[in-house]
Amino acid sequence: MNISVPRRVTKATAVAALAALALAGLTGTTASANPAAAAAAPDIPLANVKQHLTDLQSIATANGGNRAHGRTGYKASIDFVKAKLDAAGYTTTVQQFTSGGSTGYNLIADWPGGDPNQVLMAGSHLDSVSSGPGINDNGSGSAAVLETALAVARSGYQPTKHLRFGWWGAEELGLVGSKYYVAQLPTAERAKLSGYLNFDMIGSPNPGYFVYDDDPTIETTFKNYFAGLGVPTEIETEGDGRSDHASFKNVGVPVGGLFTGASRVKSSAQVQKWGGTATAFDRCYHSSCDTTSNINDTALDRNSDAIAHAIWTLSAGTTTPPPGKVFENTADVSVPDNGAAVTSTVNVTGVTGNAPSNLAVGVDIVHTYRGDLVVDLVAPDGSVYSLSNRSGGSADNIVQTFTVNASSEVANGAWKLRVQDKASVDTGYISGFKLTFP
Ligand code: TRP
Ligand code: ZN
Ligand code: CA
């Protein structure tokens, strides 16, 4: 029996709250399917990456057989990549610089969103040497980074970090484009780069699987991916600092990357490990035969998927556990003082099979004396689960998530929160009722 004097919550408050909810259009039941917590990277389609290589080959063929700095084939390559990114929703910037008396171009593509103070960057040089079309060096990295950027757009990925992609000019003249990019980047902007991932030659025809030995987190992310495939890796040693990651590393940005080998010869131990022959990893390195025939599809495929894995993993930030499928009724229901039971209903749909053994029942009851209240969960078939039976004495409101073993109940149907006030004087109302299916 309750003998306390009513406090704080009045019927007027309850009515006001109800009116506010009605105005806001928030009454009634809502259901929402929530996204998965840590999104896995999508598979990068090899066919798409190869199509980009075919297009880069066509550009070289139409422009005197190369895509070198200062030649028409280079600018055509920039225009080609830029058009794809613009169509996919990227914010692109072409940055001009001068080297050897010719204009060079970097292409920067920002994916809108993410934390501007934590930028994850991936890039590759887009120029070839003048002696050939540069399909492995470095159409391969350029095409794989492009397709990964397009996969970000296709999946609508919204990572915690901001994503930025770069295609560098005049790498073959001494990392000129990437050095220019970091030199013009204000110190404060450099500090926001949480990592730079470099991809230069990732489809060598006689491939090795090399991971740069730089930032440990980036390195481990790549190694884990290949370990998952059962593909052994080695640390890259064929000329550290010979690609654009060096420009970033020199200003203190954590770097990493992948490489399948250039002119160095594959050892017999490496042939044991990876197959192929004890010849150069890329016998067409920097020559006219670096065409679309100069690509190992398996290496290109694995490395493309590894790029996506690293970008998804390293940009995710902290992950939250999946919130499950939520059904909620936020309409207020007044509970008559010392009167009949009232209910709030949620209609569960689209859940297969039975309810879980850990059904989360969110109860929000505003009341001036919870010891008056008998609160039950009523399953669709009428089964009753007691949540609170006049417990809690003179404490007020019941705002609590109860865990109910409802595994013998079919999930779909009308679930009710039933509340009865069994003693006079104190009053209140059901403010919310929520079921969460894991
Ligand atoms: N474009 C690079 C170059 O011509 C290729 C290369 C050689 C490379 N060794 C490397 C790329 C090591 C990355 C890592 O020098
Ligand atoms: Zn290269
Ligand atoms: Ca009462």
Return the domain boundaries, the chain: 4-316, 325-437
From 128, 176, 200, the mutation candidate for ligand 1 (largest count of ligand atoms within 8 A of CB) is 200
Burial of 374 (0-12, 13-18, 19+ CB in 10 A): middle
Q: Fold for domain 4-316?
A: Aminopeptidase (3.40.630)
Distance 1 CA to ligand 3 centre (A): 9
Q: In the prediction, which pLDDT does 323 show? A: 57
Pairing mode of beta strands 413-421, 115-125: unpaired
**Ligand 1 atom nearest residue 129's Cα:** 4
Distance 82 CA to ligand 2 centre (A): 20
Q: In the prediction, which pLDDT does 378 show? A: 98
Q: In the prediction, which pLDDT does 437 show? A: 87
Residues with CB under 6 A from ligand 1: 137, 171, 200-201, 236, 238-239, 242-243, 259, 262
**Ligand 1 atom nearest residue 198's Cα:** 13
Q: In the prediction, which pLDDT does 325 show? A: 86
**Nearest ligand, measured from the Cα of 373:** 3
Q: In the prediction, which pLDDT does 201 show? A: 98
Q: CA gyration radius for the chain?
A: 31
Q: In the prediction, which pLDDT does 7 show? A: 32
pLDDT (tens place) for every residue of the chain, 438 residues total? 333 333 333 333 333 333 333 333 233 333 333 333 347 899 999 999 999 999 999 999 999 999 999 999 999 999 999 999 999 999 999 999 999 999 999 999 999 999 999 999 999 999 999 999 999 999 999 999 999 999 999 999 999 999 999 999 999 999 999 999 999 999 999 999 999 999 999 999 999 999 999 999 999 999 999 999 999 999 999 987 899 999 999 999 999 999 999 999 999 999 999 999 999 999 999 999 999 999 999 999 999 999 999 999 999 854 344 457 889 999 999 999 999 999 999 999 888 899 999 999 999 999 999 999 999 999 999 999 999 999 999 999 999 999 999 999 999 999 999 999 999 999 999 999 999 988
Q: Apex CA 233: angle with CA 229 and CA 235, to 5°?
A: 150
Distance 341 CA to ligand 3 centre (A): 12
From 213, 242, 255, 284, the mutation candidate for ligand 1 (largest count of ligand atoms within 8 A of CB) is 242
Question: Which residues belong to the active site?
Answer: 171
Q: State the SS3 of the chain.
A: CCCCCCCCCCHHHHHHHHHHHHHHCCCCEEEECCCCCCCCCCCCCHHHHHHHHHHHHHHHHHCCCCCECCCHHHHHHHHHHHHHHHHHCCEEEEEEEEECCEEEEEEEEEECCCEEEEEEEEEEECCECCCCCCHHHHHHHHHHHHHHHHHHHHHCCCCCEEEEEEEECCHHHCCHHHHHHHHHCCHHHHHCEEEEEEECCCCCCCCCCEECCCCHHHHHHHHHHHHHHCCCCEECCCCCCCCCHHHHHCCCCCEEEEECCCCCECCHHHHHHHCCCCCECCCCCCCCCCCCCCCCHHHHHHHHHHHHHHHHHHHCCCCCCCCCEEEEECCCEEECCCCCCEEEEEEECCCCCECCCCEEEEEEEEECCHHHEEEEEECCCCCEEEEEECCCCCCCCEEEEEEECCCCCECCEEEEEEEEECCCCCCEEEEEEEEEEC
CATH number of 325-437: 2.60.120.260
Distance 3 CA to ligand 3 centre (A): 10
**Nearest ligand, measured from the Cα of 260:** 1
Q: Is the four-CA dihedral 304, 310, 312, 313 of positive or negative sign?
A: positive
